[in-house]
Chains A and B, each alone.
With several copies, the nearest count.
Chain A
């Protein structure tokens, strides 16, 4: 089980011959991910860590059959095109690692994907991983133990930090998903939580938010209205961030009066979602909501 990807997911790496693409292909293969092909225009016919490289997905699908998921490492200027290529060739999960894609291009392809029922993870994401089954991302695999906590986050290293805290206390993770650090992403907390609700294995969800936007507030409103729910514990980064400044992520900017820490925290707490003060408090709060 787990969500979005699993042991039977057949994946392709777009931009497999690049430095990042090649490096992480190795790590994903080591993890057991079924990478059946890679693309790199003009480099078709070669191999990267034993994975056949094609010039196009058109060719990859023709040779290897249908492909379920893609992970994109191509540079920002070519990333939108890679997303369209993936969607137009029947790929249902598209993980966009690439950082720095123009906002209006993201808006376009994210809508395009949504209409077609395709899940876009990212852009600017560490990826998605169903622990011990399939890793489509760049996260350090060893900090994640398998278990029943669903992890959904707008952050990278902070997620690993919290996963490590969970492990220390004996909690494992079903699937971990980085939504992506940009203002507009393919999936949001609500989309992912709905999947976790339907996943038999996942018993609780840890939500890792940060300042900027109103994704956490919207989740709180949504969560309040649910009749069937699984417990959620949250951590929000950025309490000390000043308004109007971009804190690393393009998405982590408090502007237009939206998205400050106070608003997020009170929304979540009003929805009966406990918010941890430090990463190390997350498993403690989890214990409390799970009634151990």
Chain B
């Protein structure tokens, strides 16, 4: 789960990392009063999607009036589909250099790693592609944890003066502590800035919490799902993995890999999937029914493709779930079913009685769904 910039900064600040003075606001008049207090300010849209800067979500205001106007504008927009509901209004800090510092879990090495670069302010993905040699990595053994030399190496890689050793050490140590205390996957300061008066300050901050650890952090667990669309939220409440896409073929499948493969096959045969919906392993008729109801009423999808590979999942249960959903909602759009495995014959019979054809081969089912979506 991603935290907002202002939340990440609150945590960072509690761990002794310097951040610009500022406040979160939800209205232009609040922005006005913060600006009157702080002088020249930066207004930053609080969204969880990336690329905020390029999308115009970060603006400078020289006066309280300007802050008011910018806030009014920002609070009425969306950035990459995400509505802007809060702004972080911060003092504008005089900076001499922008640095990059993060701590992430490296999948390949199976350990936390510090990524350190003197080229801050750019997205790390871009940096990694263009100047991989400009990113220094320091791996941390999970059994040992943070060790002090990491600060000294960071200082040197960032070409900071030796007088800042304690400052950088406070930062690198705090990052590790945040990762451990909050079960974070990522703790990132980009840019971490060197100010004109030689201090280190986190101009931006990003913390991502491991979803599997949320149960250890009830205060964060409550926030879980807040970045989901209404539709995604409903699906999650029903216990499904769900992601909204922009096509017109609704997809229900079991297993993340097979669901993605179904979506991909739709694309391969010329169609566009409307969503990702994984009902998981061993689903019963009730959950199938709810999934089908959800996708029958899904506004964008014109056809519904159900692809079930029955192992633990029983095909007759799936069939009954489908029939029940149709009974409640009506067959308001074509349903293409592909089913295989346990109790396949019985499932096939149940659906055929209702006039629904069952395919054995995934390719056949996908092709028909694509064709129907184009009618």
Contact = CB atoms under 8 A, between A and B. Distances in A.
A259 to B, nearest CB: 9
Contacts of B261: 158, 161, 235, 237, 278-279
Contact of B257 (A80, A139, A210): A210
A271 interface: no
A81 B211 CA distance: 20
A215 interface: yes
B177 to A, nearest CB: 13
A157 B255 contact: yes
Interface in B254-293: 254-261, 263-268, 273, 276, 278, 281
Contacts of A80: 147
A85 B179 CA distance: 21
A165 to B, nearest CB: 9
A200 to B, nearest CB: 29
A112 B149 contact: no
Contacts, number: 218
Contacts of B107: 183-184, 213-215, 251
A211 interface: yes
B110 interface: yes
A74 to B, nearest CB: 11
A112 B144 contact: yes
Interface residues of A, number: 77
Contacts of B241: 246-248
Given A155-B256, A211-B260, A138 B312 contact: yes
B256 A249 contact: yes
Nearest to A157: B255
Nearest to B214: A102
B342 interface: yes
Nearest to B180: A104
A103 interface: yes
B299 interface: no
A280 B367 CA distance: 13
B49 A244 contact: yes
Contacts of A280: 361-363
B239 interface: no
B128 interface: yes
B231 interface: no
Interface in A158-187: 158-161, 164, 181-184
B142 A107 contact: yes
Given A104-B142, A110-B110, A139-B311, A157 B147 contact: no
Interface stretch (A2-10, A52-60, A223-231): A52-60
Interface in B323-375: 340-342, 361-363
Given A241-B263, A242-B243, A218 B108 contact: yes
Nearest to B141: A112
B125 A258 contact: yes
Contact of B143 (A112, A182, A279): A112
Contact of A56 (B149, B186, B213): B149
A161 B256 contact: no
A216 B126 CA distance: 20
B49 to A, nearest CB: 7
Contacts of B58: none
A156 B260 CA distance: 12
6 contacts: A42-B162, A58-B153, A157-B257, A160-B311, A183-B185, A247-B259
Given A56-B152, A84-B149, 7 more contacts: A55-B155, A157-B281, A181-B256, A183-B185, A184-B107, A237-B257, A248-B276
